[in-house]
Amino acid sequence: MKKIILFFIFACFSLGVANAKTIEFCAISNIALEVDKSTKYADTMTPTIKNLLTATEQINDNGCEFTLFLGDNLKAPDKYNLVMFSKIIRKLKKPVFVSVGDKDVSQTKNLDKKEYYRVLKIFSKNKIKELPCVKKINGFVFVFMDGVNQFIPTQYGYYKENEIAFLDDTLRKYKNYPVIIVGHYPVFASEDVKENMLPNKISDFHNVLSHHNNVIAIISGHHNIDDEYIQNEIYNISVQGLEKTKEYKKIFIDYNEKTKQTFVKTRIYSVEQ
């Protein structure tokens, strides 16, 4: 009898493991990296460069499978800043996925999104060529959204009709996968993020989400706050800004395919010595 019970317990445990998908990664937002061009050598250490170098060293040691950069990676849309950012994240041993923020690009300053990702491709190992896009990682589907206006500088995002359609089509295509949406802007309001701080016409985004049930998490930055909450059965994670808080997050997600339940655990890392 004892052997049967042990076998039953083992069988149940094995079944649970077989039904589970897990993933662990780091997320960094609002680095605001800036090169001091007043000095003779552009690679002179600045506080924001030091922050990113320290974070890079930590991430290489803490077991993250990859790293998400959630936008506002630069202090201003400047190629010196972008090249330095790219060269530093190239030091990461695991893959990187770089999103764009409202402070990263500007058509008038000759750093539009196309050029932004061209430079990243040359100097880093970034896995994203353009936004929006989809990446399948360890059984999860990551949908990287944009929402940044590169023509008119503004902190308020806006998802164009074609991007909303892309999200709708993607969620339909991967209806049997757990989906994680990644972008610079939060999608829902919370105690810290009010409705008027969300992207314009965000109701269109909400409408798409309401027609699908496979989104398990949304990861964003932008507002420099540590914010986590559940909205419409979706776990929302806002990552605080590295420049202001000296912190970033490590995120662990466990998804049970059988029960459709999601378990999320986060840990904050500080680059202050």
Q: Which domains does the chain have, with CATH numbers?
A: 23-270 (3.60.21.10)
Task: Name the pLDDT band for 42 (thresholds 50, 70, 90).
Answer: low
Nearest to 234 by CA among 192, 167, 187: 187
- Whether 101 has a pLDDT exceeding 90, the answer reads yes
Task: Name the pLDDT band for 246 (thresholds 50, 70, 90).
Answer: very high
Mean of per-residue pLDDT scores for the chain: 92
128-186-166 Cα angle (round to 5): 50
Task: Name the pLDDT band for 40 (thresholds 50, 70, 90).
Answer: low
Task: Name the pLDDT band for 71 (thresholds 50, 70, 90).
Answer: very high
Q: What is the 3-state secondary structure (H, E, C) of the chain?
A: CHHHHHHHHHHHHHHHHHCEEEEEEEEEECCCECCCCCCCCCCCCCHHHHHHHHHHHHHHHCCCCCEEECCCCECCCCHHHHHHHHHHHCCCCCCEEECCCCCCCEHHHCECHHHHHHHHHHHCCECCCCCCEEEEECCEEEEECCCCCCCCCCCCCECCHHHHHHHHHHHHHCCCCCEEEECCCCCCCCCCCCHHHCCECHHHHHHHHHCCCCEEEEEECCCCCCEEEEECCEEEEECCEHHHHCEEEEEEEEEECCCCEEEEEEEEEECCC
Dihedrals phi, psi of 172, to nearest 5 degrees: -70, -40
Q: At what angle do helices 161-173 and 202-210 cross, to 10 degrees?
A: 20
pLDDT at residue 13 in the model = 43
> What is the amino acid identity at position 143?
V
Q: What is the pLDDT of residues 169-214, one digit of tens each?
A: 999 999 999 999 999 999 999 998 989 899 999 999 999 999 999 9
Q: What is the pLDDT of residues 47-59, one digit of tens each?
A: 999 999 999 999 9
Q: What is the pLDDT of residues 119-174, one digit of tens each?
A: 999 999 999 999 999 999 999 999 999 999 999 888 899 999 999 999 999 999 99
- Whether 11 has a pLDDT exceeding 80, the answer reads no
Q: Tokens for 213?
A: 């049930």
- Whether 39 has a pLDDT exceeding 60, the answer reads yes
